[in-house]
Structure 1
Amino acid sequence: MRTRKLATLLIGAALAAAPTLVAGAAPAGAAGPCGSGYSRIGVYSITKDGTRTGTLEVHYSSGTGKNCALTYGYGAYANTTSWKRVTISRGDGSGSSTDAGRYESYAGPVYVSASGQCIDVAGPCRTM
């Protein structure tokens, strides 16, 4: 499994997700935000006009062949009710799943079955 690209969403302003850090997996048996059996495989910054507004996390379960994604607020958007969105789909655009709304902590989790396939993920954070 690998991520092919990070999609850009245009909602008022162009928001792009750019890679910043790839972190290791959680300890075996630990249940993370996507549930048990998921390992975090990517962490990406979400920026608007050069300012970081959020963090997009991607997780994978080899047991189910599913990917999971979440969007957290960052800085002024962290732990405050603000508009957050996360979308995940297979690289061919099929199987798309989105969660969006005014959340305090995060949008998601959203899932897609994509064992051995590329995926696309996106996740802006902004005030409304």
Structure 2
Amino acid sequence: MRLTRSVLSLAAVSALAAGSTAVLASPASAAANTTPQKVCGSGYKTVNSAAVGSLGTIYLTYNSANGRNCVATIRSNPGTAVDMSAWLYVSDTGQGASDSGAFTSYAGPVSVYGKAHCVDWGGNIKNVYVSIYGSNCSALKEHRVTSIR
């Protein structure tokens, strides 16, 4: 009984240690020189961006080969994980995607089909939130909102 309990305890501690390592090795971790193309993919070109104060930048990219937009929020100075998000929404189609959590370098990528549609997009780093509505369409003038919460 004592041996079984020790083996089970060791297995539980090992599982917790492995789980902690997996959490620390977040997929949204990258070197300081991360670019939207590294995050979204080589076929994506930056079509718009928005500063998140001095903390970083949110990038809207587009891939003409597949008609998809992609958004990534990238920190200026990666480091300790902080609250971040990236989101994208196409109101004409009702399609949207988002990514949020505590990240060391970037949030996203999130992508949605957006060819010939206006897109809404944004994100946050720490307590600075940026939202862009009616972006990248000739019919509307985009509307940008930055808030500190």
Aligned length: 92
1:55 to 54, 57, 63: 57
CA distance in 2, matches of 1:117, 1:110: 17
Give the number of the structure with larger relative contact order, counting CA–CA contacts within 8 Å between residues 6 or more apart.
1
Aligned residue type for 1:45: A
RMSD across aligned positions (CA): 2.1
Post-superposition, which runs of at least 4 consecutive aligned residues in structure 1 deviate over 4 A? none
CA distance in 1, matches of 2:75, 2:100: 13
- Greater strand content: 1
Is 1:35 equivalent to 2:37 in the alignment? Answer: no
* Structure 2, unpaired ranges of 5+: 1-34, 128-149
What TM-score, normalized to structure 1?
0.64
SS of 1:96's equivalent? strand
CA distance in 2, matches of 1:79, 1:86: 18
What TM-score, normalized to structure 2?
0.55
**Which structure has the bigger radius of gyration?**
2
CA distance in 1, matches of 2:70, 2:79: 21
* Structure 1, unpaired ranges of 5+: 1-25
